Amino acid sequence: MSSKQHEYYEKRLLDLMDKMPPYIIEYLDSRLDYRSSLTLFNYARDYQEFLKWLISEGISDANDIKEVSVDTLANLSLQEAQAFFKTMLRRKYLVSKKSEEYKQVQEKTVNRMKSALRSLFKYLTVEAEAENHEPYFHRNVMQKIPVHKVSESRSERAANMTEKIFIENADADFLHYVQKEYELTLTKGQMRYFKRDKERDFAILSLFLGSGIRLNELSNLKLGDVDFTQKVIRVIRKGNKKDSVTVIPEALDDLKTYLEIRNERYNADGDPHAYVFITKGKNGYSPLSNRAIQKIIAKYTESYDKRMSPHKLRHTYATNLAEQTGDIPLVMTQLGHSSPETSLLYINTSLAKAKKAAEEMGKRRKRD
């Protein structure tokens, strides 16, 4: 995670901590030095959800989550703890405001909540010291809550992925839609912002689909990292490893089109250390955050009626590359994978598509 992203999530974490009871603030503060700000922010949101549930169910008589006592956690029954996770698992969340589509909360999300609460309860029952030099309490009900590993075979994961990415020529169709048809859906007010950011946004979409880089790699891209001669961009991979990523010529052309208007459009300069993707503000320009880029991807893909994330665009590129080459070492190198297991998933995605096509072809032989 970049320093700007760390600062962003740390600020949001600190804002959430202000709303928490003292014992949770103490726990989060004890983890700040060695857990990522993003992980702790997600934990804090899980604790917020948990405390709200305790109040709504009458398990705590507090009026605000800040007032939920540590005794409430100490006396929480196993049945109550189980009921909380069952409630979370039954919840649905809004995927798209436009289509009013809701999806069930995934088990892996609830597993994260279990991990967050198990960590908190372990701290309160083992690590922390109250005024009497003892832990806050000794009975850890969360130890009795199992975390069920969500197991999927590689082929199952591949089949599920196929439903969530652009397959065959759909990525090219999507880019054509953004370039030629998207503006037809806009109001006059929306059109003004679209015209200002069209080249930038299109370059972002094209680069994800034409290189397979990660969100964090794209948001941290500097002008000096782009090499049009070698047709590569230089990125910092996980573990702070420097790497060069090959980009398809069309995506480089789209990036070049954006860079030609970047400085004048956003009142920016061409310093090699300046960020490539920026936004215009009252006090000059600033780099686009990960969250801003996610919103850009969501806006265009939702309009295309297939809401996606930067990670799904990366999957799309990887699947296309695997399908074109069948070359696992190449896929590993291009995507920065350390294990062939992850890259093999994209080969299986192609197999999943082949199986689906075979089923459709087989239907022709059926007789009523």
**Would you please indicate which residues are annotated as catalytic (active-site) residues?**
214, 238, 311, 314, 337, 346
Enclosing H/E stretch for 102: strand 101-104
Task: Say how far apart CA 312 and CA 300 lie, in whole Å.
Answer: 13
Q: Give the chain's count of helices (H) and strands (E).
A: 15, 7
**Of 124, 142, 131, which Cα lies nearest the Cα of 27?**
124
Residue tagged 């197991």 (tokens): 151
Full DSSP string of 76-88: --HHHHHHHHHHH
Three-class SS state of 222 = strand
Cβ atoms of residues 19 and 62 within 8 Å: no
Ramachandran assignment for 284, one of left (phi > 0), alpha (psi -120 to 50 degrees), beta (any other): left
**How far is Cα 116 from Cα 230, in angstroms, rounded to an integer?**
45
- Say which residues have a Cβ less than 8 Å from residue 307's Cβ, sequence separation at least 6: 95, 96, 298, 301
